[in-house]
Amino acid sequence: MLSPAEFRAVVSGERRGLQAGFLRLALRLVETPYTWAVRYRNYGYDHGQAQVSHAAVPVISVGNLTLGGTGKTPLVAWIARWLRARDIRVTLISRGYGAAAGARNDEALELEQKLPDVPHLQNPDRVAAAATAVDEFECQMILLDDGFQHRRLARDLDIVLIDAVEPFGYGHVFPRGMLREPVSSLRRAQVVALSRADMVSETRRQELRATVARHNPDAAWVEMRHAPECLRAADGQTAPLATLAGKRIAAFCGIGNPVGFRHTLAQCGFDVAELREFPDHHGYTRDDVTSLGDGAREQGVSALVCTHKDLVKLGVGQVAGVPIWAVEIGLEILCGQADLEARLQAVLPRE
């Protein structure tokens, strides 16, 4: 069984050799029927053969084309705040991937801290959740997190994120690559947003924009970066990034794209002794915490640094006497904000 990091190394071609080659071939053989199944499912929705439910209020979906993290949470928070600034009662709905029975997953816990005035429902049956949002919360809009592939609930605006670092799943649909569905599915989107755009050149951005335009020339194009804003402790206390600037720290994360977090640490100017990567949505155990503390003591670091998503799962302020800080991330839109706002404005509820 491949770990997430090993799987990525194989499908990206980073791992070389005979064994890796055979693995890629085997995964390619499985990719074909999986892709056919995805296309067949989409065909059913595209041609009215699969049932689609309509909520009583407008629905905005923010989703991915690929597996792993593309930075949806900062954009979801940005849109929710944009709606609240216009006095729109919005409810977040997500599947709750990775959550234990009856519990909330890491993304929900993170968004609760970021958006205390926005209700968040987690339910694999997002049609039922939408009905609850309208009936019980009297919401005026629904914001569907990670909803691009969830087509049973109709949406008024589809926003798809593409990670500038790993944009198109290494050119293959899962399991041979990281695509959830073929790139041609972008034709369903009204907005395509390039996350971590600051991590690639302007030439590369234009290449990615041209690729998207071949599949959907009418989609609004947005480029954005994830900007570190401050440090956050488990008790909610915040501190300037400069608190740890130039200091030796150890870092860890359990997210879909650790490359993005590595870039964030570099932006902050931290002296990173080690970055430990756990699987996405990793549930931290007592042994994990002990291991992190032992490593921090051995390396003599000033702090342990993680993502906000990891901090809400740990819920502790220190390990072995070493403080734990999360880097709070904000969203900076580099271009296309006017087009994005125009698309949002077009689906606002009308009294």
Looking up residue 181, the CATH number of its domain turns out to be 3.40.50.300
Same domain, 309 and 340: no
pLDDT of residue 102: 56
Same domain, 214 and 70: yes
Q: Is the pLDDT of residue 103 over 60?
A: no
Enter the tokens of residue 271: 């002296």
Same domain, 88 and 109: yes
- Domain of 291, CATH number, reads 3.40.50
Question: φ and ψ at 248, to 5 degrees?
Answer: -80, 125
Same domain, 19 and 34: yes
User: Which residues are paired to 179 by β-bridges?
Assistant: 66, 173
Q: Is the pLDDT of residue 272 over 60?
A: yes
More confident residue, 306 or 97: 306
The answer as to whether 177 is a domain residue is yes
Q: Which of 3-17, 230-244, 296-310 has the lowest mean pLDDT?
A: 3-17
Instruction: State the amino acid at position 88 in one-letter form.
Output: I
Q: Is the pLDDT of residue 243 over 80?
A: yes
Residue appearing with tokens 């791992």: 15
Same domain, 158 and 290: no
SS3 (DSSP) at 147: coil
Same domain, 305 and 192: no
Please give the tally of structural domains in the chain.
3
Instruction: Read off the pLDDT of residues 201-240 as tens digits, 9 standing for 90 and up.
Output: 999 999 999 999 999 999 999 999 988 999 999 888 899 9
The answer as to whether 351 is a domain residue is no
Q: Is 68 left (phi over 0), alpha (psi -120 to 50) or beta?
A: left
Instruction: Read off the pLDDT of residues 107-164 as tens digits, 9 standing for 90 and up.
Output: 777 788 788 899 999 999 999 999 999 999 999 999 999 999 999 999 999 999 999 9
The answer as to whether 112 is a domain residue is yes
Domain hosting 256: range is 227-330
Enter the tokens of residue 349: 């509820």
- On average, the pLDDT of the chain sits at 91
What is the share, in percent, of the chain residues with pLDDT greater than 90?
A: 68
Same domain, 180 and 307: no
pLDDT of residue 95: 86
Same domain, 34 and 104: no
The answer as to whether 188 is a domain residue is yes
Same domain, 270 and 151: no
Same domain, 193 and 145: yes
What mean pLDDT do residues 307-336 have?
Answer: 90
Same domain, 249 and 206: no
The pTM of this model reads 0.88
